């Protein structure tokens, strides 16, 4: 078994936001390999987040972001389970970062489930017609359209988008950031709604 040093545990905690015991256990399981330990923590964090997803969220914050030119702004409601977490600095920072992203990226829906079926059907028809006009073989049109619909959804759905600040967030999607904060605070975290405001629109 690898000799797990306190400095390694501390470094892993700072990198992942995991608790001390979880970080140490992951390093032991990974035989001291920090990259493998991060993978283990991510898998466990996502599993825990999935378990938490059916828990109620009656607390939270409304965060705002106003661009420096005062012509673009956004409001976002992010819910959690307890007032204790709602007052947590990391949780508040996450909500602010989401509001900033909404102002910059202009998503139209929080999740794919919110896109009306008739809107999806209309997009599919457009992509199908385009594929036919381009002379694509009938047997591959379905797959092409599926891929284009998925790409279109990713462009308009908040949780599917990569955060606009790619340097700070390492090209992670809003959903990945949501999972990370949920794992860090130990509660179900839900982005329930948002609004974007632009002068003249």
pLDDT in tens, 157-175: 999 999 999 888 888 999 9
The model's pTM: 0.67
pLDDT, residue 57, reads 61
What is the Cα 48 distance to its own chain's centre?
15
pLDDT, residue 78, reads 96
* φ, ψ at 75 (rounded to 5°): -120, 140
Start-end ranges of CATH 1.10.8.10 in the chain? 6-52
Specify whether the CB–CB gap between 41 and 24 falls below 8 A.
Answer: no
Q: In whole angstroms, what is the distance from residue 91 CA to residue 156 CA?
A: 24
pLDDT, residue 155, reads 92
CATH number of 6-52: 1.10.8.10
CATH number of 59-110+157-198: 3.30.479.20
The CATH class for the domain spanning 116-156 reads mainly alpha
Q: How confident is the model at residue 47 (pLDDT cuts 50, 70, 90)?
A: very low
Q: In whole angstroms, what is the distance from residue 44 CA to residue 130 CA?
A: 43
Give the count of alpha carbons within 13 A of 197, CB side only. Answer: 12
Start-end ranges of CATH 1.10.286 in the chain? 116-156
- The model's pLDDT over 140-157, given as tens digits with 9 standing for 90+, comes to 888 999 999 999 998 999
């Amino acid at each position: 078994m690898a000799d797990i040093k306190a400095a390694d545990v501390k470094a892993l905690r700072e990198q992942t936001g995991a608790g001390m015991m979880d970080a140490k256990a992951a390093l032991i399981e990974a035989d001291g390999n920090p990259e493998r330990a991060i993978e283990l923590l991510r898998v466990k964090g996502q599993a825990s987040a999935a378990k938490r997803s059916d828990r109620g969220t009656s607390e939270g914050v409304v965060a705002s972001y106003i661009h420096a030119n005062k012509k673009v702004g956004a409001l976002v409601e992010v819910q959690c389970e307890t007032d204790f977490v709602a007052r947590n600095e990391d949780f508040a920072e996450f909500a602010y970062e989401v509001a900033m992203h909404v102002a910059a990226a202009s998503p139209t829906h929080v999740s794919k489930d919110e896109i009306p079926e008739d809107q999806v059907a209309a997009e599919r028809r457009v992509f199908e017609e385009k594929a036919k006009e381009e002379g694509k073989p009938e047997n591959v049109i379905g797959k092409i359209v599926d891929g284009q619909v998925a790409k279109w959804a990713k462009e308009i759905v908040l949780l599917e988008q990569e955060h606009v600040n790619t340097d700070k967030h390492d090209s992670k999607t809003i959903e990945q950031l949501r999972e990370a904060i949920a794992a860090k605070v130990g509660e179900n975290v839900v982005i329930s709604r948002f609004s974007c405001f632009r002068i003249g629109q």
